[in-house]
Amino acid sequence: MATSMKELTANGAKVTTVANGADASAAPPAEPTTLSSPPHAAVYPAGQCVFGEEWTAATLVAKERCKETTAILTFELPDTSKPLGLSTCACILAKFDRDGAAVVRPYTPISTNAMIGRFELLVKIYAQGAMSQYLDGLQIGSSVEFKHIPFNVKVQYPFAPKVGMLIGGTGIAPMIQALHAILGTVDDTTAVSMLYASKVKEDILAQETLEAWAASSEGRFTCKHVLSEEPDDSPWPGARGLITRELIEAHLPAPTDDVVIFVCGPPGMYESLCGPRNEPQELKGILAEMGYTAEQVVKF
């Protein structure tokens, strides 16, 4: 099948994407290690994911514990000649059966479409988390069922000229996707400001990656961490507590027409900052009080 390409304008840059109906095997040949490589754009439009609306099995081929309670799981795709083909920041659903009932959870891969035949998930392991405990206990060679539905496609790259990110915990996963697209696209001038909330310093995910990307971004990407449960006697020099209006005013772009704000984290974060995740058209909380509009805020 001939490859059809499409160009998008991304704040001064031209981004080539694989268009609908194109052969996904024509994707970028590079296969960098996700969290140890520079940002690299491999943008696909919605509708190209190899997982459709039917459950499809993928085999676990690698597992790496990156924190005491966090692991990176690598799965092999049914067709190892193609990338996952997932659009930027979108998620897939994982499923297993327990006592005759399906347990389903969403995950946004941290790998990009530059990875051929495989994809990586960043999984936080919770003591009472049915899916995370199941994934943590999987043996290499075991399989998990996945699917992708249109509902799980959020805002697509290119984004607004100024992007603010309000993140908690594993909410960093779709932001890694967004940062790959923004910082990995030649001549893109998008400015990104992130406030990343964690409980303690040891909980910060992808910290070295974020620091490296910020250092090489020539000022286009900044990341400030906020710790809510760091011990009082800790030498942590950064912000403590929760993400507040004062922190947002100090570190994120003001609510002008050229701004979009991404929110991704636990339920309490949505309640405080923007209102429930399942009410995407309604804006409440701190962001509403600051003058942002519902159209400017994306709830992942």
The answer for residues whose C-beta is within 8 angstroms of residue 246's C-beta and 6 or more apart is none
Each residue's pLDDT tens digit, 31-85? 445 677 889 899 999 999 999 999 999 999 999 988 888 999 999 999 999 999 9
Q: What type of residue sits at position 66?
A: C
- Please say whether the beta carbons of 179 and 221 come within 8 A: yes
Same domain flag for 182 and 293: yes
**Quick one: which H or E segment has residue 209?**
helix 207-215
Residue 157, domain member (yes or no): no
Is residue 74 domain-shared with residue 173, that is, in the same domain? no
Does one domain contain both 118 and 201?
no
Of 117, 152, 187, which closes a domain?
152
Residue positions forming the annotated binding site: 105-107, 122, 124, 131-132
Q: What is the 3-state secondary structure (H, E, C) of 84-119?
A: CCCCCCCCEEEEEEECCEEEEEEECCCCCCCCECEE
Q: Provide the residue range defining the domain that includes 55.
A: 5-152
Q: Which of these three, 152, 180, 207, is where a domain ends?
A: 152
Examine the domain organization and report whether 210 and 130 are in the same domain: no
Residue 24 forms part of a structural domain: yes
Residue 100 tokens read as: 């005759």
- Into how many domains does the chain fold? 2
Which single residue is written with the structure tokens 């049915």? 130
Do 213 and 130 reside in the same domain of the chain?
A: no
Long-range contacts of 243-249 (CB under 8 A, 24+ apart): 243/166, 243/195, 243/197, 243/269, 243/272, 243/273, 244/286, 245/286, 245/289, 245/290, 247/195, 248/164, 248/166, 248/195, 248/286, 248/287, 248/290, 249/290
Q: Is the pTM of this model over 0.85?
A: yes
Q: What is the CATH number of the domain that holds 18?
A: 2.40.30.10
Q: Quick check: 18 pLDDT over 60?
A: no
Residues 127, 183 within the same domain: no
Which residues make up each annotated binding site for FAD? 105-107, 122, 124, 131-132
Whether residue 116 lies inside any domain: the answer is: yes
**For the segment 161-198, what is each residue's pLDDT rounded down to a tens digit?**
999 999 999 999 999 999 999 999 999 999 999 999 99
Q: What is the pLDDT of residues 113-139, one digit of tens each?
A: 999 999 999 999 999 999 999 999 999
Q: What is the CATH number of the domain that holds 257?
A: 3.40.50.80
pLDDT tens-place string over residues 84-104: 999 999 999 999 999 889 999
Q: Do residues 115 and 24 share a domain?
A: yes
Q: Which stretch of DSSP H or E encloses residue 272?
A: helix 267-273
Whether the CB-CB separation of 198 and 226 falls below 8 Å is answered with: yes
**Domain-terminating residue out of 105, 124, 152:** 152
59 and 147 co-located in one domain: yes
